Structure 1
Amino acid sequence: MAPKAIASPIPDAWYPTLSVLMLAIGLVVTASFFIYEATSSRKTRSLAKELVTGAVASVFLGFGSLFLLLASGVYV
């Protein structure tokens, strides 16, 4: 029995669209994080909000970078 080839669960044609979409969302969330940090005082900041916003931005920017690399032919 021959081994089955590894295939991506997402079609290759979607990589550029996914990269632009996820990077755009990540940059918007990052911008909202910076705006929140600049406009809130030290006493009104929430650690939970900062951690959640940073995690969401990190996930979107990470997957956006991954799909950008895949779209440009760098298979990681």
Structure 2
Amino acid sequence: MAPPAKPITSPVSDAWYPTLALLMLSIGLVVTASFFIYEATSSKRNRSLAKELITGGVASVFLGFGSLFLLLSAGVYV
């Protein structure tokens, strides 16, 4: 006989969703702002593709997870 199935649970407590959403969205917006400032203030010859890709990737990850936790805290389970 098979053992009874364990229910699937989140690795993060539901009470942490709003806090994580606020924290990650704030970090993502700060990194996005620094990306825009870097693009606006540096000349075309001084720009670094690696720095742009890393900054954009970090901002994307934080904004993505922040949006996920915001949806989860609002009760939209994706």
TM-score bracket for this pair, using the shorter chain length? over 0.9
**Alpha-carbon distance between aligned partners in 2 of 1:58 and 1:33, rounded to the nearest angstrom:** 11
Runs of 4+ residues deviating >2 angstroms: none
Gaps of 5+ in 2: none
**Which has the higher Rg, Structure 1 or Structure 2?**
2
Indicate the percent of aligned positions where both proteins have the same amino acid.
Answer: 78
TM-score, L = length of structure 1: 0.99
| Structure 1 residue 58 displacement after superposition | 0.1
2:66 alignment partner, one of 57, 64, 75 = 64
Q: Which residue of 2 aligns with 1:40?
A: 42
| Structure 1 residue 2 displacement after superposition | 1.8
Taking only aligned residues, the RMSD between alpha carbons, in angstroms, comes to: 0.4
Aligned length: 76
**Alpha-carbon distance between aligned partners in 1 of 2:69 and 2:41, rounded to the nearest angstrom:** 33
TM-score, L = length of structure 2: 0.96
